[in-house]
């Protein structure tokens, strides 16, 4: 039972990390219609930058904040390249983000090196109902809960949040109301960068990141986002938790090398399930 609880808490924490990446996918797709394949890059830059800055002597808090800003700035830069020119087709923007994600490998190796980086945030472990669990796992869960609460307030209570929602619902009507969809899209890319960077900063103390760690994070984040149809952050959170717990159980009881296969299999199952439901939902809407 203690092992099960340890795997469960670890899975929930891992799922929370996936949820932050997934929320970046959802944020960008809702506003721009673009699937940002550079979302995993934001997490790698955030995590590795925090580790590098802490190694250079910056104190905790400052290093993580600078790394988070760097991830957000990278999100804005990729947004400018991908959608900055009005009229760019979404498919073209998707290809641009994929190319930038691949090209980022070289820059990351030059800046951070080719070895995995890690750092200590919440040191030590706690006894949770007889299970030995790292404090960092609880930090990840807590920060994710706060982040989703802030996002809910942002979209529900602020003008900018409502403007982003308007662009996702009806860009044409939003433009007639004086809202610039391109500007809102760039803001969505920036927030997506911040969310991805936050995920990387939180997971690096538990799971060292290297320049090619973006693939695993992106695959899991995308799988969770697909669970919500790339439109619903709360459903993406549910999908991310299912993925995280499933992978933790497989890694704990079977073999950790099968974790990526679990993510791919679940993503395929979700996509098949959604494609089977889409005609039925469309018929109901008619």
- Supply the pTM of this predicted model: 0.88
To which residue do tokens 């804005």 refer? 76
Interaxial angle between packed helices 181-203 and 159-169, expressed in degrees from 0 to 180 and rounded to the nearest 10: 110
- DSSP-based helix, strand, coil % in the chain, nearest 5: 75, 5, 20
**Beta bridge pairs of residue 126:** 133
Buried b (16+ CB within 10 A) or exposed e, 1-39: eeeeebbbbbbbbbbbbbbbbbbbbbbbbbbbbbbbbbb
CA distances for 200 relative to 33, 40, 195, 270, angstroms:
24, 9, 9, 25
Name the token pair of 154: 């942002």
CA-closest candidate to residue 225, choices 13, 39, 12, 14:
39
pLDDT (tens, 9 = 90+) of the chain, 286 residues, equals: 577 888 888 889 999 999 999 999 999 998 888 999 999 999 999 999 999 999 999 999 999 999 999 999 999 999 999 998 877 888 999 999 999 999 999 999 999 998 999 999 888 777 776 677 788 999 999 999 999 999 989 988 888 888 888 877 777 777 777 788 888 999 999 999 999 999 999 999 999 999 988 888 888 898 888 877 777 888 888 888 988 888 888 877 776 667 667 767 777 777 777 667 655 444 443 3
Contact 192, 22 (CB under 8 A): no
To which residue do tokens 């098949």 refer? 272
């Amino acid at each position: 039972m203690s092992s099960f609880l340890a795997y469960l808490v670890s899975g929930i924490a891992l799922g929370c990390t996936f949820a932050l990446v997934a929320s970046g996918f959802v944020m960008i797709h809702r506003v721009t219609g673009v699937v940002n394949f550079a979302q995993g890059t934001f997490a790698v830059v955030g995590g590795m930058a925090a580790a590098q800055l802490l190694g250079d002597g910056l104190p905790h808090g400052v290093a993580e904040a600078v790394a988070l800003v760097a991830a957000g700035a990278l999100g804005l830069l990729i947004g400018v390249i991908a959608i900055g020119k009005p009229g760019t087709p979404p498919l073209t923007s998707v290809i641009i983000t994929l190319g930038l994600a691949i090209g980022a490998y070289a820059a990351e190796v030059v800046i951070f090196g080719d070895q995995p980086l890690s750092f200590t945030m919440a040191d030590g472990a706690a006894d949770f109902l007889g299970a030995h669990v790292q404090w960092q796992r609880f930090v990840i869960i807590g920060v994710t809960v706060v982040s989703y609460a802030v996002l809910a307030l942002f979209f529900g209570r602020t003008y900018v949040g409502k403007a982003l929602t308007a662009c996702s619902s009806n860009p044409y009507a939003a433009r007639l109301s004086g809202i610039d969809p391109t500007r809102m899209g760039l803001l969505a890319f920036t927030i997506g960068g911040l969310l991805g960077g936050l995920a990387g900063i939180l997971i690096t103390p538990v799971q060292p990141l290297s320049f090619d760690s973006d693939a695993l994070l992106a695959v899991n984040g995308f799988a969770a986002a697909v669970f919500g149809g790339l439109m619903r952050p709360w459903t993406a959170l549910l999908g991310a938790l299912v993925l995280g717990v499933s992978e933790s159980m497989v890694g704990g009881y079977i073999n950790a090398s099968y974790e990526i296969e679990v993510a791919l299999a679940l993503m395929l199952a979700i996509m098949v399930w959604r494609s089977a439901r889409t005609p039925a939902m469309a018929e109901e809407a008619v």
